[in-house]
Amino acid sequence: MCRVNGAEVRRSDVETEARAIRARVSFHGDVDEARQQAFRRRALQNLINAELAYQAARARGVEVSDEEVEQALRARSAKYPDRDAFEEQLRSAGIEREDLEADLRRDRMILKIRRHIGRSEREIGEQEVRRHYDENRLRFQEPRSAVVRRIFVRVPPLGRSPEVWQAALDEMTAARARIEAGEPFELLVDQISDVPEAEKQNGGLLGTVSAGRLEPALDAALWSTPEGGVSDPIRTFKGIYLLKVDRFVASRPIPYEQARKQLRANLEEELSRQLVEDWLASLRADAEIEILDASLASPPPAPTRSAEEAEPQP
């Protein structure tokens, strides 16, 4: 598939990495061959970068202790009910424990050298943080939001039928009519809402909800309901909702003092990322990279990745 300064990048590794990329970008259902090839090209570039970083780490004498490998192994096995279940998963996947430990050691070496390269001696000063804030004020806005209450009637997955849905819709339509006639929303919450008891005691209060935070049907109903009003019944996968808008809260600027800490961290992260990208570019410029599969020989630019993202999954 590919050789990087003589080290082989195997086709099986490219396919594994391509599947991981597909999972991260949340592609569902069938993916055509053109898209699969795009994933493979990106995967190959990720693996080339990882191999170059690993070779550089070895050349610099980067070390990873046995205890660090064991910690990484414990973190991996913690995702399973017990260690025996983890070992069984390794066996069923055809992964030898020694090979996994070697992969974990390699990944930690890559992670260490990337962190070292990305550690800048240049401090992000207050003046630079303030200038970035002033030049990007439109990005520092708290989105509009609403203080929302709900009534929810669940429609159980088993036994659903048009008649069951209609009964739930009729119940919520009647509830809305009672509210419009003057009955307190909170009373209907207590009588019919399928929500936790603590929420019932709080009058069905969901709290302050930003635009886009609810599922699409609820979000659309929320922002078309007037302040103080109650929505029409909203059908979702789980059941039927009524939403009440206590009040709207307009979008407002985030003050500099509130934004500065996170902004400084973002600028430091961006500087670190750029240092690593520049370093990888210099490694690639000096490397002998031979891509043996012509269909993957002209990839689009690929973002760099951390060693943690590149870890093999048993």
Q: Find the mean pLDDT for residues 18-46.
A: 82
CATH number of this structure's domain 2-123+259-310? 1.10.4030.10
Q: What is the structure's pLDDT at 21?
A: 87
Print the SS3 string covering the chain: CEEECCEEECHHHHHHHHHHHHHHCCCCCCCCHHHHHHHHHHHHHHHHHHHHHHHHHHHCCCCCCHHHHHHHHHHHHCCCCCHHHHHHHHHHCCCCHHHHHHHHHHHHHHHHHHHHHCCCCCCCCHHHHHHHHHHCHHHCEECCEEEEEEEEEECCCCCCCHHHHHHHHHHHHHHHHHHHCCCCHHHHHHHHCCCCHHHHHCCCEEEEEECCCCCHHHHHHHHCCCCCCECCCEECCCEEEEEEEEEEECCEECCHHHHHHHHHHHHHHHHHHHHHHHHHHHHHHHCCEEECCHHHCCCCCCCCCCHHHHCCCC
Mean pLDDT, rounded, of the chain: 89
pTM to 2 decimal places: 0.64
Of the candidates 7, 8, 1, the one whose C-alpha atom is nearest the C-alpha of residue 41 is 1
Q: Which residue has the higher pLDDT, 158 or 280?
A: 280
Q: How confident is the model at residue 308 (pLDDT cuts 50, 70, 90)?
A: very low
Of the candidates 142, 151, 138, the one whose C-alpha atom is nearest the C-alpha of residue 178 is 151
Of the candidates 145, 155, 135, 120, the one whose C-alpha atom is nearest the C-alpha of residue 270 is 120
pLDDT for residue 29 is more than 80: no
Q: What is the structure's pLDDT at 214?
A: 92
Q: Find the mean pLDDT for residues 230-250.
A: 95
Q: Which residue has the higher pLDDT, 260 or 22?
A: 260
pLDDT over 70, % of the chain: 93
Q: How confident is the model at residue 310 (pLDDT cuts 50, 70, 90)?
A: very low
- Lowest mean pLDDT segment, chosen from 52-61, 114-123, 170-179, 238-247: 114-123
CATH number of this structure's domain 143-252? 3.10.50.40
Which residue ranges does the chain devote to CATH 1.10.4030.10? 2-123+259-310
Q: How confident is the model at residue 11 (pLDDT cuts 50, 70, 90)?
A: very high
Which residue ranges does the chain devote to CATH 3.10.50.40? 143-252
Q: For the chain, what is the radius of gyration of the CA atoms? A: 27
Q: What is the largest CA-CA distance in the chain?
A: 80
Q: What is the structure's pLDDT at 121?
A: 83
Q: Find the mean pLDDT for residues 55-79.
A: 94
Q: What is the structure's pLDDT at 309?
A: 44
Rounded Cα distance, 260 and 252, in Å: 16
- Tens digit of each residue's pLDDT (9 = 90 or more) over 127-176: 999 999 999 998 898 889 999 999 999 998 887 899 999 999 999 999 99
Q: How confident is the model at residue 312 (pLDDT cuts 50, 70, 90)?
A: very low
Q: How confident is the model at residue 295 (pLDDT cuts 50, 70, 90)?
A: confident
**How many residues does the structure list for the chain?**
314
Q: What is the structure's pLDDT at 311?
A: 43
Q: What is the structure's pLDDT at 138?
A: 87
Q: Find the mean pLDDT for residues 231-249.
A: 95
Look at the block and give the residue holding tokens 């240092």.
275
Specify the amino acid at residue 223: W
Q: Cα–Cα distances in Å, from 132 out to 29, 306, 311? A: 41, 26, 35
